[in-house]
Amino acid sequence: MKKKMKVFTILGTRPEVIKLAPVIHQLKLHKKQIVSKVVLTGQHRKMADQFLKLFGIKPDYDLNIMMKNQTLVDVSTRCLIRFSKVLVKEKPDLILVQGDTTSAFIASLAAFYLKIPTGHVEAGLRTFDKYRPFPEEINRQLISVVADFHFAPTKRAKSNLLREHINPKKIYLTGNTVVDSLYSIAGKKYTLRNEILKKIDLDNKKVILVTAHRRESFGGPFKAICKAIKEISEFKDVEIIYPVHLNPNVQKPVNNLLQGRKNIHLLDPLDYETFVFLLRKCYFVLSDSGGVQEESPAFNKPILVMREVTERQEGVEAGVARLIGMDSSRIVKEARKLLNSNAQYAKMSKSASPYGDGTASKQIVEAIIENFKKSGR
Ligand code: UD1
Ligand code: UDP
C-alpha cells in the first residue's frame, strides 16, 4: 500500500454507537494501514453520549444536530450540510455507516455527492413495506443504492441485496457487529448500582423488560401498547421494567398512562451494561427494537415483537421471537401464554444465534483493507 487509507466512521444514535464501536476498535488495530476518524452527528445527544464513554470513543467531529422533537427534515438537512463540510475538508477514502437511521442515509448521500465510497454495515435488511419501519425501510434501501461495500449480517440479508442486483463481489457476509459488542460487554464483571432496580426481586419475580420507540407507533398504537402493559402488570408475580426512550412522543403517553403503578418501573434509558444485565435476568422481552431482537436470543430470552412486520425474520423462524403487532388484546394474550404456560415458554426460550458469531467487525475491517490494497493506492 502506498499511503494510509483514511476511513471515517459516522454515528449518531444509540444503536449505531453500540454496533460501530467494535468496528472502530478493529480499525484502530490497523494503525499502520488506516487513519481512522469518528464523526458523531449528534442525532441522539444524551442516549449516544453515555455509550461513547463506555466504549472509549472520542469523536473527531461532533455535528451536534439534535433538536427537541426533531422532524426527519431537521435531522436530514442539518446532517447533510454539516457532514458535507467535514467531507470537503478531510476527503476520506471511505466512510462507514451502519443500519438505517437518517444520520446513516444522509451521510452516505453526502459522500456520494463528493464521489467518496461508502461501506454499509448491517446491509440488506428488508421488510419491503415502505412505511414499516418508518423511515428506516427506505433509509436502508437508499443506502444500498449508494453504497460501494455491503456488509450483510445474515444469508437472508445477502440474498435481499443480490435480488436488488448489487454486485456480489461487493457483498460480504459477516454476521452482525451487535454480537461482537454483546460479547465484549457480557464477559465483564458487573455490579448493579441502579437504586430502583436494586429494590426489585429480580431472582424470584417474572421480570418483563420493555422497550418501544418506533415512529410508526406514535399516537394510537402507543396508547394500545401502554394499555396492554397496564393489564399485564396485573398478572401474578410480574415486575415490568421499562427504560423509556427520550423521544417526547414516547415519554408523554408512557408517563401519562403508566406512572404510579407499583410493579411498573419507568426508568431513564439504561447504560448498556445494565440493559444487558436485565436481558440475562428477565423472563421475557416485549419490544419493537431492532437491536433488542438480535440480542434477546443470545440469552435464551423469548421476545414478543410489537410490530406488524420485521426485517429480523431469522429470530421468528428460529422460534425465539414472535411478531405480535400492536393491538392491546393480542399483546396481553401473548404475554399471558408465556407467563402461564411452561410449554409455551420452553418452546421460545431456546438458544439461537442467527445474527453472528462475534467476528463481524474483524471481517469488515479485513475486507476494507483487502479492497484498498487491490485498488493499488
Ligand atoms: C432514531 C432513529 C431510529 C432508531 C432510533 C434508536 C431515525 C429517523 N430514527 O429514532 O431509526 O431506531 O433512533 O433509538 O434515524 N431525544 C433526546 N435525547 C436523546 C435522543 C433523543 O432528547 O439522546 C429526543 C429528542 O427530542 C429528539 C427525539 O428524541 O428530537 C427523537 O430523536 P430521533 O433520533 O429523531 O428519533 P428516534 O425515535 O430516537
Ligand atoms: N439499549 C440500552 N439501554 C436501554 C435500551 C436499549 O442499552 O435502555 C440498547 C439495546 O441493548 C440495543 C440498543 O440499545 O443494543 C437498541 O436501541 P434502540 O432500540 O433504541 O434502537 P433500534 O435497535 O431499534 O434501532
The three-point CA angle 291-293-296 to 5° equals 105
Statement: residue 376 has pLDDT above 80:
no
pLDDT digits (tens, 9 = 90+) for 213-272: 999 999 999 999 999 999 999 999 999 999 999 999 999 999 999 999 999 999 999 999
Q: How far apart are CA 36 and CA 27, in angstroms?
A: 6
Q: Which residues pair with 286 in a beta bridge?
A: 210, 304
Task: Report which secondary-structure segment, H or E, holds 211.
Answer: strand 206-211
CA 247 to ligand 1: nearest atom: 29
Q: Which of 11, 13, 78 to mutate to test the pocket of ligand 1 (most atoms within 8 A of CB)?
A: 13
CA of 251 to the centre of ligand 1 (A): 12
Fold of 5-175+359-375: Rossmann fold (3.40.50)
Active-site residue among 100, 239, 288, 295? 100
Statement: residue 1 has pLDDT above 80:
no
The answer to whether residues 221 and 213 touch, using CB atoms and an 8 Å cutoff, is: no
Which pLDDT belongs to residue 3? Answer: 87
| CATH code that applies to domain 195-349 | 3.40.50.2000
Average pLDDT on 179-190 reads 92
Which pLDDT belongs to residue 350? Answer: 86
Average pLDDT on 315-328 reads 97
Statement: residue 18 has pLDDT above 80:
yes
pLDDT digits (tens, 9 = 90+) for 46-69: 999 989 999 999 999 999 999 999
pLDDT digits (tens, 9 = 90+) for 28-50: 999 999 999 999 999 999 999 98
Lowest mean pLDDT among 11-25, 261-275, 362-376: 362-376
CA 100 to ligand 1: nearest atom: 11
CATH 3.40.50.2000 maps onto the chain at 5-175+359-375, 195-349
Q: Count other C-beta atoms under 10 Å from residue 56's C-beta.
A: 10
Average pLDDT of the chain to the nearest whole number = 96
Which pLDDT belongs to residue 340? Answer: 96
Which pLDDT belongs to residue 185? Answer: 92
pTM of the predicted model as reported, rounded to 2 decimal places: 0.98
Which pLDDT belongs to residue 2? Answer: 64
Which ligand sits nearest to residue 212's alpha carbon?
2
Q: How far apart are CA 74 and CA 339, in angstroms?
A: 43
Q: Which of 43, 64, 214, 312 to mutate to test the pocket of ligand 1 (most atoms within 8 A of CB)?
A: 43
Percent of the chain scoring above 90 in pLDDT: 96
CA R_g for the chain: 20
Work out the angle between the directed axes of helices 46-55 and 272-281 (0-180°, nearest 10).
90
Q: How confident is the model at residue 374 (pLDDT cuts 50, 70, 90)?
A: confident
pLDDT digits (tens, 9 = 90+) for 110-162: 999 999 999 999 999 999 999 999 999 999 999 999 999 999 999 999 999 99
Q: Is 25 a catalytic residue?
A: no
Average pLDDT on 196-212 reads 98
Which region, left, alpha or beta, applies to residue 47 given φ > 0 means left and ψ of -120 to 50 means alpha? alpha
Omega before 133 within 30 of 0, i.e. cis:
yes
Percent of the chain scoring above 70 in pLDDT: 99
Q: How confident is the model at residue 377 (pLDDT cuts 50, 70, 90)?
A: low
Q: How confident is the model at residue 352 (pLDDT cuts 50, 70, 90)?
A: confident
Active-site residue among 14, 25, 132, 213? 213
